[in-house]
Amino acid sequence: MQLQFIGSGDAFGSGGRNNTCFHVVGENVNLLIDCGASSLPALKRAGISREAIDLILITHFHGDHFAGLPFFLLDAQFSRRTRPLVIAGPQGIEMRLTQVMEALFENSSRTQQKFELSVVAPRPEQMHAFGAVRVTPFPVVHGESGGPFLGYRIEVEGRTIAYTADTEWTDALIPLARDADLFIAEAYTFEKAVKNHLSLKALEAHLDEIKPKRLILTHMSEDMLERLDTLTHTAADDGLIVQL
């Protein structure tokens, strides 16, 4: 099984990076974690078959994590996708998806797809099974607009992937990521406190409690990108592939 960072950037494209989108593929899994606005062209550049993707997990409704869905769905429609697709995210995702579809492509939400589409909102802190994938959402802290906000603990093929999504420090990140094989964490700044975002120093203060087997930093601002050569942790970049 592998995870590829299709997009590792923030909302402002710092460092010229794509918006958040991670692709996980294995013997029994093919999913996306988030689908930011730039995701469809980034997936195509990476040579990834969109038809094979069964599940898309959305953390929240900001454009750099969510706004790629209309493009993904229209591409699926016009490429004659037949494989069922599940989109899972925070409460209200069905309404939010309709709104963004209509905002970007009028009447697109009313088009009958040629494939089965399920849009669901799993309850936080409860494990949900999507085929071979077990997903536990955790509430995180990222302000008010664009929420609710979720991080994910994903268990599949004997491995655990945890992702903070965008959040300031919250103790929910400890059970979300404890002993994870791969912990993907926002590190928006190095040490500066920015409301609703996570700094590397705030994260490091709790790593002894989380004890991830592997940590990769993502969603970095220019403040972090200019320090890449000095970091002691792995930093994501667009295209990075992690074997699990």
Confidence at residue 166, expressed as pLDDT on a 0 to 100 scale: 98
**Domain tally, the chain:** 1
Residue 89's nearest CA partner among 49, 32, 174, 155 is 32
Per-residue pLDDT of the chain (244 residues; tens, 9 = 90+): 999 999 999 999 999 999 999 999 999 999 999 999 999 999 999 999 999 999 999 999 999 999 999 999 999 999 999 999 999 999 999 999 999 999 999 999 888 888 999 999 999 999 999 999 999 999 999 998 999 999 999 999 999 999 999 999 999 999 999 999 999 999 999 999 999 999 999 999 999 999 999 999 999 999 999 999 999 999 999 999 999 9
The pLDDT assigned to 129 comes to 98
Separation in Å, CA 54 to CA 88, 126, 134, 139, 223: 11, 21, 14, 24, 36
Residue 75 DSSP one-character state: H
3-class DSSP state for residue 59? coil
H/E segment holding residue 207:
helix 207-210
CATH of the domain at 184: 3.60.15.10
Q: Which domain covers residue 159, as residue numbers? A: 2-243
